[in-house]
Amino acid sequence: MAARAVERRLNADASDHVGPTFPCRCGKTARYAGRRPKTFTTVLGEMTLLRAYYYCDDCATGFCPRDRALGMEGASLSPAVTRMVGLSAAMVSFQESAELMGELAGVPVAAKQVERTAEALGREIAQDEQTVVEPQPPSAPTLYLGMDGTGVPMRASELVGRQGKQPDGSSKTREVKLVTVWTAEGRDDEGMPVRDPGSVTYSAAIESAATRDTDAAPSDFAQRVNREARRRGFDQARRRVVLGDGAPWIWNLADEQFPGAIQVVDLFHAKGHLWDVAKAIYGAGSDLGEQWAKQRRDELDEGKIDSVLAALRVHAEHNDEARKCLDYVTRNQNRMRYPQFREQGVCTSTGVVEAGCKTAIGTRLKRSGMHWTVPGADAITALRCCKLSGRFEDFWERRSAAETGASR
């Protein structure tokens, strides 16, 4: 009934017929060609609206000035419904989002339409993220920046000719690279720094982190990291800490973008590697293996890197995992000075970076049965990072302002 009432009211208002002509975007003049109906999905339900329609012979395009004014040009969902769809699809699958729209808002939107709408919105957000960088002062004396990558399952067509980790050398995933910025001024019972709730922001995409010497500009991911760092005032912070696992691209990028920042191998990752070695040597679930791993982890905590290296060397010759880990610890030992970091009050073992990959990417994009295209994965990643970073409202305001501006 509310929908019918609003529909009647809107349709009674013919003020969008402003005369026989209307300026077209091409610069020429479009002429009035009657009122045209279109059915929109709104928070009140379906509404069929009659709008003044103008047609431009020069560019052979027709348009309705009212659709532009309402931000509904080319869309069949009202802005409020689009917003709801965007927010829900940032959090749950398209199918679940469609169900929530029906159950919570009483607005039927098909899963396919949720997908189209959310991906279009995600593309807008990704574009907006690249163009709008409003630097903030650092929110704490120490800022943390983490980088990580995680594989997202792809449609077969997206993987043709790509090398991967499958036994036949093919690949099932593409790597989404993530940058996370946070603060950790709070302390736990033992006085160790803990991540400040609500301080985490994310930015991610399937893009390259490798900048060749011959490239004029840094890699796409390096530029993303740089934008996020400026947004958070990371580059201005009194103390800057870069966390990551041992992957060389992370440290190359850190050297390149943030010289002088403290580099820390996430203790969570380091311990995980040692655990893998123990399993490879002693088999899963073995007491000996557990004991071995515990000893190495204590040595790491106590800063006895030489002991860790010695223990790995014993197995390196006949065990692949041990050899790889030996390389890893050797390469990264300066980033594994944990007692020193603790003394400086630097957060080392939060798993924030690891959790970031799960929270920002895995929970939404790596669910069973999901297979993405690159543009689809990037759009939903952008949408989700925007939402989780508390930036959706700002984006929506900019979007609404742009729509209103465009219609004038």
Judged by the rule CB under 5 A, the positions of this chain that interact with Zn ion are 24, 26, 28, 56, 58-59
Residue 62 C-beta: closest distance to Zn ion, Å: 9
Specify the long-range contacts of residues 218-222, CB closer than 8 Å, at least 24 apart: 218/256, 218/257, 219/253, 221/177, 221/179, 221/253, 222/253, 222/256, 222/257
Of 26 and 132, the one with the shorter C-beta distance to Zn ion is 26
DSSP letter (8 states) at residue 384: H
Residue 31 C-beta: closest distance to Zn ion, Å: 11
Minimal CA–CA distance to 252: which of 201, 214, 213? 213
Residue 29 C-beta: closest distance to Zn ion, Å: 8
Of 27 and 198, the one with the shorter C-beta distance to Zn ion is 27
Residues 6+ apart with CB under 8 A from 349: 192, 266, 267, 268, 271, 338
DSSP letters, 312-325, are HHHHHTT-HHHHHH
Amino acid residing at 166 = Q
Of 52 and 386, the one with the shorter C-beta distance to Zn ion is 52
Measured distance CA(268)–CA(193) in Å, rounded? 15
Of 24 and 277, the one with the shorter C-beta distance to Zn ion is 24
Of 31 and 165, the one with the shorter C-beta distance to Zn ion is 31
Residue 6 C-beta: closest distance to Zn ion, Å: 31
Residue 19 C-beta: closest distance to Zn ion, Å: 17
Of 34 and 108, the one with the shorter C-beta distance to Zn ion is 34
Residues 6+ apart with CB under 8 A from 20: 31, 32
Residue 28 C-beta: closest distance to Zn ion, Å: 5
Joined tokens for residue 237: 């912070």
Residue 142 C-beta: closest distance to Zn ion, Å: 55
3-class DSSP state of 329: helix
How many other C-beta atoms are found inside a 10 Å radius of the C-beta of residue 179? 29
Joined tokens for residue 10: 């809107």
Of 58 and 306, the one with the shorter C-beta distance to Zn ion is 58
Minimal CA–CA distance to 361: which of 213, 147, 209, 214? 147
Amino acid residing at 63 = F
Of 55 and 282, the one with the shorter C-beta distance to Zn ion is 55
Residue 119 C-beta: closest distance to Zn ion, Å: 28
Of 33 and 104, the one with the shorter C-beta distance to Zn ion is 33
Residues 6+ apart with CB under 8 A from 178: 147, 148, 149, 150, 202, 203, 204, 356, 357, 360, 361
Residue 53 C-beta: closest distance to Zn ion, Å: 14
Q: How far apart are the first and last CA of the chain?
A: 32
Residue whose pair of structure tokens reads 């005032």 in the numeric block: 233
61 beta partners: 56
Burial readout 352-362 (b: 16 or more C-beta within 10 A, e: otherwise): bbbbbbebbbb
Amino acid residing at 1 = M
Residue 61 C-beta: closest distance to Zn ion, Å: 5
Of 34 and 283, the one with the shorter C-beta distance to Zn ion is 34
